Amino acid sequence: MKRYLAAVLMVASLAGCASTSEPNDETRGWTVEKIYGEAKDELNSGNYTRAIKLYETLQARYPYGRYAQQALMDQAYTHYKDQEPELALAAANRFIRLYPAHPNLDYMYYLKGLVYYNDDSTTLAKWAGQDMSERDPRAAHEAFNAFRELTVRFPQSPYSADATEKMQQLVAALGGHQMHVARYYMKRGAWLAAANRAQDVVKEYSNTGHNEEALAIMVVAYDKLGMKDLSADASRVLKLNYPNSQWLQQPWQVKEVAWWKFW
C-alpha cells in the first residue's frame, strides 16, 4: 500500500513539474499572419516589449518566408523606437547579412544611420543645450558611413534625399567638433595639437563655416611655437579670404565664461 501511495505521489509530482515547465502560450496554434498582425498592433500602440516578443516568436516558429524577413525588419525598428540602439543595430546587421538581395535593403541602411545619428540625443544633452558638434564623433562617423552606403548603393531610394541632408549636417557637426577640440587645446596651451586640429578643419571641413576661426587659431598657435613662417602664412590666408575678420585687429583669445553661465 505504501509503495502504491509513493508511486501515486511521484506521478502527481512529475505531472505538476510538467505543467509548470510548460507555461500557457497564448500564441499556440496561431497562424503566421495572426502573430505578425498582433505584433504590428503592439508596435503601433507603443507596446514595444510585447511586440518584440511576438516578432521573436514568429521568427522561431516560422523562420522562412516573407513574414520572417519582415518581422526582423520590424524588430530592428521596434528596438530603435524603444531606445535600444545596440539591439536595433544587431537586428539591422543580421538582416543585411541574411538578406543581401532584399528589395528593402536600403531601408535597413537608412535605419542604421538613424540609430547612430540619434545615438547621443539623450535627455541630458537636450536639457543642457548640447549640439551635435559637442558630442562624441564616433557615432557621427558611423552614421555618415551608413548614410553614404545607402546613397551610393541605392541612389534612387526614397530615403536617399533625407540621408544626403543628414550627411551634410554630420559633416558640419564633425567640423564643429574639431573646432571645439582646437579651442580646448588652445586653452590648455597645447599649441601644436591646437594647430593640427585647426589645420584639419581647413583641409577636411572647409565648407562648414569654421575656416576663419581655424586660421586665426593657427596664427596664434604657430606664433607660440616659434614657427613664424607658418604663422605668417596663416595670417596671409586669413587676410586674403576674410579681410574684415575681427582676428586681424586682435589675435584670437580664449573666451573665459563664468561658471554660472554654463547653466
Tell me the average pLDDT across 155-176: 93
Domain that holds residue 45: 30-98
DSSP helix/strand/coil, 20: helix
69 found inside a domain: yes
**Contact between residue 197 and residue 184 where contact means Cβ atoms under 8 Å apart:** no
Residue 56 located in a structural domain: yes
**Does residue 4 sit within a domain?**
no
Structural domains of the chain, count:
1
- Asked whether residue 41 is domain-assigned, the answer is yes
How remote is the C-alpha of 85 from its chain's centroid? 7
Cα–Cα distance between 220 and 217 in angstroms, integer? Answer: 5
Sole residue written with cell 589645420: 199
Phi, psi (5° rounding) for residue 93?
-65, -35
The SS3 assignment for 33 reads helix
The CATH number that applies at residue 35 is: 1.25.40.10
Q: Is residue 66 part of a domain?
A: yes
Report if residue 73 sits inside a domain: yes
90 in any annotated domain: yes
Confidence of residue 119 (pLDDT cuts 50, 70, 90): confident
DSSP for 132-200, please give it: GGGS-HHHHHHHHHHHHHHHHH-TT-TTHHHHHHHHHHHHHHHHHHHHHHHHHHHHHT-HHHHHHHHHH
Kindly state the average pLDDT of the residues 220-243: 95
**Quick one: average pLDDT of 25-44?**
93
48 part of a folded domain: yes
